[in-house]
Amino acid sequence: MSERPMNVLFLCTGNSARSIMAEALLTRLGHGRFNAYSAGSFPTGVVNPNTFPIVESLGLDPKAYRSKAWDEFAGPDAPPLDFVFTVCDNAAGEVCPIWPGQPMTAHWGVPDPARIVGTPGEIAVAFSETARLLKNRIGLFVALPFEKLSSMSLQARLAEIGASAEQPA
């Protein structure tokens, strides 16, 4: 692995729930080996309030997270990205900007808990399930032996991670 932490961007259309949770999860699970970011192609401008309990459960400050456009990560002042993961199907199908750093990309789609209509308990369960799926994938990602994998092998492993844990346990 390189001397500097690897920069990872999680993308979703609204950047209000899934990508924010993924950013928080990698921040916690990555133990300083990664700089986690999130953004959206059409950000809502606000973080879904049901995301905050997930962020807080990781011991992180929810005020540190905000909904933002992916343009912030495509400009000349953006950090060079090592990885870009889409966590929603819409973002995966959109034409993305040219990312600095020529990152590896993969699609890690998970259900959108923000679309759930139901009781507060049902909504909380949906958010927890999405967080669980993301945590599984991010756990597999941070455990990869980056220094031992060729670019082709790493890209294949990223795709495998995206295909893992599709169904709830």
Which residues are catalytic, by number? 12, 88, 96
Find all residues with CB under 8 Å of 143, minimum gap 6, and list them. Answer: none
Contacts of 59 (CB under 8 A, 6+ apart): 28
CB 22 within 8 A of CB 85: yes
User: DSSP alpha helices (H): ranges in 3-142?
Assistant: 18-29, 52-57, 89-93, 120-142
**Per DSSP, what are the bridge partners of residue 8?**
36, 83
